[in-house]
Amino acid sequence: MRSMPGPVAVITDSTACLPAPVAERWGIGVVQVQLQVGEQFDEENRYDREEIIDQLRAGTPVKTAPPEVAAFFWAFQDAASKGASAIVSVHISGRMSETVNAAREAAQQVNIPVHVLDSGTTGMSLGFAATSAAKVAAAGGQASRVIDAAERRFRGSREILYVDTLEFLRRGGRIGAAQAFLGSAFSIKPLLTLKNGEVAPLTRVPGQRRALNKLVDLAVDCAGDQDVEIAITRFGPDERDLEIGGRLRARLPKMVDSTLVDASMILGAHLGPGAIGITVSPV
């Protein structure tokens, strides 16, 4: 009798902002992107979040780097050793990071099929995609179905971002088309999105309160009458996210679920302290 093929493993990177219990529940492997803070260089999960926020505010250089190829190789090998028949590895936009290229290089060194996907996005748009893929894999879906689940989710999701300042995006070289907003008065707050794999401008709003109101309005418009999951992502402790969550629940009767997550420190290093994002993801 022929043995049944093993399950498909799902792997992503730490910019997916997946809460650890979610990754553990669905067996999602998370490869850590790297941070350099001053002279210290390490995987992002080995840093203290509050320390990183303090360093950013103090003007300490904080840089990011993709995982080493070896980190992906060992993640893939671990999945293979546990009986995976194939791997779907879904990652941050290749226009924002070399992470996906490191995964592709490692994939060539593994003896089972590894399908590396450039999501064209990051944050919980990536996190929702990885989770949907893992659920299909857990149900016994073949690699093609797992890939379809990931692609459907990251193509349909939308990131809407509030930042206190564009300075951190400028420093990190990730400002993209949002560069058009540089030079705005301090009181003008930019709202951003991800488009064509990079940061893009949405609008500018005078004052923090109005900008956050507009953030909610844009998320509601984006959701429309679809069934959606919502993620509110913050970088640093903030009571505003609770208010935003309550307002979204009141205005989105077809919201299937909502979650509050801490931004990856990699994303936080580029967006800066006080950044808040809303992910709208049709289900």
3-state SS, 73-114, equals HHHHHHHHHCCCCEEEEEECCCCCCCHHHHHHHHHCCCCCCE
Q: Give pLDDT, residue 168.
A: 79
Work out the average pLDDT over 183-212.
Answer: 85
State how far the alpha carbon of 123 is from the alpha carbons of 34, 59, 69, 159, 278, in Å: 16, 24, 21, 8, 10
Work out the average pLDDT over 67-81.
Answer: 97
State how far the alpha carbon of 10 is from the alpha carbons of 86, 151, 155, 200, in Å: 9, 13, 18, 29
φ, ψ of residue 61 in degrees (nearest 5): -60, 125
> Which residue ranges make up each domain of the chain?
8-32+67-155, 158-282
| CATH T-level fold of 158-282 | Hypothetical Protein Tm841; Chain: A;domain 3 (3.30.1180)
Residue 255 reports pLDDT greater than 50: yes
φ, ψ of residue 26 in degrees (nearest 5): -100, 10
Q: Give pLDDT, residue 260.
A: 94
Work out the average pLDDT over 195-222.
Answer: 93
The CA distance from 217 to 5, in Å, is 47
Note whether 92 and 129 are within 8 A (CB): no
pLDDT tens-place string over residues 125-158: 999 999 999 999 999 999 999 999 999 999 999 9
Residue 38 reports pLDDT greater than 50: yes
Nearest to 167 by CA among 256, 274, 265, 258: 274
- Asked if domains 8-32+67-155 and 158-282 share a fold, the reply is no
Note whether 233 and 17 are within 8 A (CB): yes
pLDDT tens-place string over residues 54-65: 999 998 989 999
Q: Give pLDDT, residue 179.
A: 55
Q: Please, which pLDDT band fits residue 113 given cuts at 50, 70 and 90?
A: very high
| Domain 8-32+67-155: which CATH number of 3.40.50.10790, 3.40.50.10170, 3.40.930.10, 3.40.50.1820 | 3.40.50.10170
**Torsion 114-115-118-124 (CA) sign:** negative
Question: What is the token pair recorded at 151?
Answer: 């692609």
What residues does 195 pair with on adjacent strands?
A: 198
Lowest mean pLDDT among 32-36, 182-186, 196-200, 263-267: 182-186
